[in-house]
Amino acid sequence: MTVTELHVDKRNFASTRVQTRARTALAPGQVRLRVDLFALTANNITYAALGDEAHYWKYFPPGNASVQWGVLPVWGFASVIESRHPQLPDGERVYGFMPMSSEVVLEPARVNALAFFDGMGHRTGLHPVYNHYARCERDPLHAPDTEDVQAVLRPLFITSWLVSDLVEERRSGGACQVLISSASSKTAYGTALQLRAAGDGAVVGLTSRGNVAFCERLGCYDRVVAYDEVNNMDRDTPCIYVDYSGNGPLRMALHSHLRALRHSLAIGYTHVGRLGPPGHLSGPPVQVFSAPDRIRQRTAEWGGAEFSRRLTAAYAGLADFCVRPRSGGEPLLVIERHAGPAAVTQAYLQVLDGGSDPRVGRVAGLVVA
């Protein structure tokens, strides 16, 4: 049997190749999983952009070790198809960090009824949040009939929720408007939805001109401003900037223009061609957000069970916002499926290119049924 992997050139993300290789035999304690479905969104492109500094290329080294090529991590569902681990039988369904591959070998450690961690040697020292796998049967966020939607939304909306929690904490000193860039991205509008529910101040979406109408229709922004209009915004309203774009010139423009900017949070990097501050920034320092660190902090403060309870409740509300039929009968989120190496490559390149319909959530799999 062979394994099919999609490789991405670490220095030129538009260059890809499909590789097949022979399976390796399982060692005692290991399991082989078939990667059935995973989502592709701008978040995965960020993993490529931060691949070296945040170690994303290290999670799934390609079959034949390569300096040039890497396997991009994605979030999705897989099933155990061969097991040498006593607690994880054939057929066990798992959710977590996956390679863009038809299969993956994991070495489950610290196994309990809900989850386990991958103990493969090359993942020692990598972030535990990404080494964690949920066992679907007992996972409170899992529903077997909505795996497509979960693959797309779950990794994003956890961050939406964590960021809105952080913003609430930052603005506890007084009402503050929140400006959110890449407002058409799922993580951004998930954040806006949470903040609107908290109701402590206006939420303004910043987006490209072509996505203004989409963001206005979402209904979770009090106002939507195109990127080329940000210099017309009121300068003296106290505000927090929540940046999902990573766009350096945009950040520079906002920091210069907004005299009452209180906090500037960097979370995402959707505008891969315009990353980084172009020079000295006025205003508050930029705080780089780390979801794994915030999860660790809140888990320590609230306890694991309470963290999970709050997250599950928030996720249910956010997912409902995306899947319930809207006035035209269509839900906000339109799932597009891509099966097999050629289709997955094309879907990946569409996400990399960025300029597509923000309603679409791409779900992919290298295994052709």
Radius of gyration of the chain measured on its C-alpha atoms: 21
Query: Quick one: 7 or 186, whose CB is closer to ligand NAP?
Result: 186
261-266 sheet: strands from edge to edge: 223-226, 203-207, 177-180, 239-243, 261-266, 286-288
**Residue 268 binding ligand NAP, by CB under 6 A:** yes
Q: Which residues pair with 179 in a beta bridge?
A: 204, 241
**Residue 179 binding ligand NAP, by CB under 6 A:** no
Pattern 78-117, binding to ligand NAP, x per CB under 6 A? ----------------------------------------
Query: Quick one: 131 or 184, whose CB is closer to ligand NAP?
Result: 184
As given in the structure block, the two tokens for residue 239 are 């505000």
Contact 1, 23 (CB under 8 A): yes
Report helix, strand or coil for 254: helix
CB neighbours (10 Å) of residue 335?
A: 17
Residue of the chain from 46, 131, 194, 345 that contacts ligand NAP (CB under 6 A): 46
**Residue 13 binding ligand NAP, by CB under 6 A:** no
Tell me, by CB under 6 A, how many residues bind ligand NAP: 27
Report helix, strand or coil for 284: coil
For the CB of residue 354, give the shortest distance to ligand NAP in the complex, in Å: 2
Residue of the chain from 208, 221, 243, 311 that contacts ligand NAP (CB under 6 A): 208
Report how far residue 216's alpha carbon sits from residue 213's, in angstroms, rounded to the nearest whole number. 5
262, with CB counted inside 10 A (0-12, 13-18, 19+), is middle
Type of residue at 282: S
**Residue 251 binding ligand NAP, by CB under 6 A:** no
**Residue 269 binding ligand NAP, by CB under 6 A:** yes
**Residue 211 binding ligand NAP, by CB under 6 A:** yes
For the CB of residue 349, give the shortest distance to ligand NAP in the complex, in Å: 11
**Residue 271 binding ligand NAP, by CB under 6 A:** yes
For the CB of residue 206, give the shortest distance to ligand NAP in the complex, in Å: 7
**Residue 183 binding ligand NAP, by CB under 6 A:** yes
Report how far residue 326's alpha carbon sits from residue 248's, in angstroms, rounded to the nearest whole number. 35
Of 308-367, binders to ligand NAP (CB under 6 A) are: 354, 358
Report how far residue 358's alpha carbon sits from residue 336's, in angstroms, rounded to the nearest whole number. 12
Selection from 190, 196, 115 nearest residue 156 by Cα: 190
Using CB under 6 A, list all residues that contact ligand NAP. 41-43, 46, 156, 159, 182-187, 207-208, 211, 244-245, 267-272, 289, 291, 354, 358
